[in-house]
Structure 1
């Protein structure tokens, strides 16, 4: 009996795993989604910052305009108040007095005429006429404030109906040289000024502008609502912060409509605070459209990538299954279903190296059908094939470990590789196979098997061919001693033991 030289076994080419493909696609999708989410968040922050800057500029512009006009009107009040304490003012005619008091007074279509009230609240001088009608304002807030507080300075009243028009009254105290209260000089800025100022602005439908007095009283608001004008918002969350800090911004609900807004305020040098607000829905409207568009694109791309990935994974699975079948066909004996000679050579080479590394024994059974040629010639090839199939079944039933390798070695020869099995255990497995074949055939005339057994622990200087050679010699000994028996080879002297 001949044993073949070791055949080179080509290494299996790298195979793309369907799971690896799916995992890579999922990681890629998550990565791109994270990048897109980061970009969208940056865009959102950019929209918020842009809105904040725009509102800051708007608040500063409105505050500057209001402060400029209030300061201009206050200069006129100061001039009248200082002129009223000049002693000679009482000795001139009404016409000259008007020229002295109001020649440099600020005039505009939204400014009311300046009036002078004595210490009892009676109207004494009116810039609009030389002979003013009798009027008494002693019960007005602005008069009482100046009467009771010498340090009140410029006082801005609550919104009120003043001289036939809704307005705010600006007033200053007239004091003698010794600080005695002499009266009040007052004038008004009509609501039409604020309507004209706000009307020039390009505002959204839910944008708000609120002008507050220091005590949280609403002086003016757009959208205009007369019921809100003059209302005190001191208990509204966030308003006290607006009145206590020179400038800033925060997110809050509208005090009147409950709409979430970004609110920005500017606190000018005058006793008025400008608060502007823009709804978050308006601020993020463009961003929301872009986010929706990008989200739709990403959803489509993700769906496409996942769809293609699943399709490729299915195709890879089919290809892997086909390759496994082809490999099985290439390494399996078609008749018996055992591994073929090519696979056996690869297995014994790998197991020999593993046994050498781990210092473990490696056993080999060489099995041959007795008198098979004569049986085949007598009963035909089909009957002979049935015998080989029966022997293969008996071998498979006896060798069940995952690492064992049962193969058709060639013709009527079989080989069984038993990693980690001692000589005695290998001989026991051989006897189990022999007895099963004997029981299966039922008649020695049908077939029996002879088995050569060899087991050794490989060393660095040995080749696996020596194991095959030892098992082969043991098989010859079994044949020579009458067949239907198992013989264990004694290694290294290879003396035969029946």
Structure 2
């Protein structure tokens, strides 16, 4: 009997020690998971920021093509004419005055002398034949705009980012260079609109590793090459976007960086934050939690020592259970996150006091409620599947769901669910869930997505968004065997409109056309986008050719009904549009790629323009005429 009395406290001590180590292990695992979640959120935010920056740079560079194209067209029209430099100067100054992001336009002849410029600073005898872009175009036949290295403007002394295009003589020989210059500080000011802390930095790099811009501004880095850095030698070879941790070669700061490479231009954006600064808030909370855990472990050790002095196993076991419950509650009540405990049926058995801050109700009111209560109905299936996996043996699950607060406001919640040891399986289990409110992060992500997919002038979808939806809709139409129609819309003689009324009036005209196009879309699945310049595109799923013609004619008539003055658009004298339509009919055996369907609509648009403008033409008309079926007509 005496030996049994001595053995029972020893068994109790081992059991309690095992529970304590398990509890500490759970805390350590929870802290590690919390740290990984925090780092993952920072990395995701940085990748989204880098993506937004690169897309902004892409859009800015792409927009430079329009003034360059207009400038070269003007040169070809005025070549050899009297007063050509004065006319070019007038055109360039008008374009620069109506384009905030454009610093200057200039034309340089084949000898490197400046023919005309929008700048009011006298170029004097300055020669630009030593510039990298001049040497490149002198030896290259390409007529596409080229993004050059950042450099200092010889006239103003400002740092600029040049976009240049070769000018050919009538015989095809080199005739000079057209230059569009962005003021680099405008680009870095946009970068600094994103908050990355006092030690954060942004970097914009060309596909070959040449540094185009940095914020904070660092002159010595501009134009240098970082192609030998890990970003280019390792990470970009594996994927076009991602994150990594590195030590900055500039200030030796340990940083977390998110990068994104444009598939369109190859430009790379890197958004980075100081690791210590980004994790400072988490570390502050972690120290408090670690101190609490240390205190709890110390208390537990003291209790275990006291319990070893007890003789009866039942009394020691009951004391141990009470102490463990007290430890759990002390930890939960000291945490800013909501800690909940569920049984195997998904019924709440415990909630920490932070439920008042997150859900807007007291813990007592939530006891006994089901995990699905007040969740968004679209998330019910996902939560049910998580609970099923936990009952079937999974020890850890994560989920992000929407829930309605007591005040009716919807919030986003990130929850980590851990299955506690013990139980026989099935519904005989206990689950601890750690929940935090991530509504702000979700809203920020949605705002960045909207910024990356919306045209700033018209507030329609931009070209990038159109291309993404176009691919998805063609695939969906092929799978569901339903028709898909495309409308390509172009403002008639819009260049003359700009030349006559100015670019500000041109912007107002484009907004008016965009409002008509937006107002003509009747279904939520339809998509209207500004494709570029004065071109618009509309995707009409579940719409056949006749429906597309009807929608196009409605848009054409409504634009004409605006009666916007356009004296250079005879015979009407007001703004008109031409529209080309094309329809994909999988049920009729059509097998088209997005490029082929778009090309059909584009050809129909040019047929409408060549037929007199202010009209609608259908790609199906050409196909019908080619097969001897003239029953398909354009409006």
Structure 1 residues 37, 106: closer, same or farther in 2, change over 3 A?
farther
> Aligned residue for 1:30?
21
> Aligned residue for 1:83?
74
Is 2:292 the counterpart of 1:301?
no
TM-fit CA distance, 1:220: 1.9
SS at match of 1:214: coil
CA contact (8 A) 1:156 1:170 kept: yes
Q: 1:143 aligns with which of 117, 123, 134?
A: 134
TM-fit CA distance, 1:196: 2.1
Is 2:43 the counterpart of 1:57?
no
TM-score by length of 2: 0.45
Unaligned runs of 5+ in 2: 313-635
**Bigger RCO of structures 1 and 2 (CA < 8 A, at least 6 apart):** 1
Unaligned runs of 5+ in 1: 1-9, 318-498
> Aligned residue for 1:261?
255
Post-superposition CA distance 1:196-222 (Å, at most 9, x none): 213323231221111112232222222
TM-fit CA distance, 1:52: 1.4
Number of residue pairs matched?
A: 310
SS at match of 2:258: strand
Q: 1:172 aligns with which of 165, 168, 174?
A: 165
> Aligned residue for 1:320?
none
**Counterpart-to-counterpart distance in 1, 2:2 and 2:235:** 77
Structure 1 residues 106, 73: closer, same or farther in 2, change over 3 A?
farther
**Counterpart-to-counterpart distance in 2, 1:49 and 1:276:** 15
**Counterpart-to-counterpart distance in 2, 1:206 and 1:131:** 41
* Aligned-pair Cα RMSD in Å: 3.2
Structure 1 residues 315, 97: closer, same or farther in 2, change over 3 A?
closer
Is 2:38 the counterpart of 1:47?
yes
Q: 1:314 aligns with which of 287, 292, 309?
A: 309
**Counterpart-to-counterpart distance in 1, 2:66 and 2:228:** 34
> Aligned residue for 1:193?
186
Post-superposition CA distance 1:50-106 (Å, at most 9, x none): 101211221122222222222222321122123323365635655444455665557
Structure 1 residues 271, 81: closer, same or farther in 2, change over 3 A?
farther
**Counterpart-to-counterpart distance in 1, 2:112 and 2:292:** 73
Is 2:213 the counterpart of 1:217?
no
TM-fit CA distance, 1:14: 7.5
**Counterpart-to-counterpart distance in 2, 1:28 and 1:309:** 11
**Counterpart-to-counterpart distance in 2, 1:18 and 1:242:** 57
Of residues 175-184 and 161-170 in structure 1, the stretch that sits farther from structure 2 once superposed is 175-184
**Counterpart-to-counterpart distance in 1, 2:163 and 2:107:** 12
Is 2:196 the counterpart of 1:207?
no
> Aligned residue for 1:376?
none
Structure 1 residues 192, 147: closer, same or farther in 2, change over 3 A?
same
**Counterpart-to-counterpart distance in 1, 2:151 and 2:189:** 18
TM-fit CA distance, 1:110: 5.2
SS at match of 1:114: strand
Post-superposition CA distance 1:367-420 (Å, at most 9, x none): xxxxxxxxxxxxxxxxxxxxxxxxxxxxxxxxxxxxxxxxxxxxxxxxxxxxxx
> Aligned residue for 2:282?
287
SS at match of 2:49: helix
Q: 1:225-374 residue pairs with structure 2 within 5 A? A: 225-241=218-234, 244=237, 245-268=239-262, 269-270=264-265, 272-316=267-311
TM-fit CA distance, 1:306: 1.2
**Counterpart-to-counterpart distance in 1, 2:131 and 2:79:** 29
TM-score by length of 1: 0.56
TM-fit CA distance, 1:117: 1.0
**Counterpart-to-counterpart distance in 2, 1:316 and 1:13:** 10
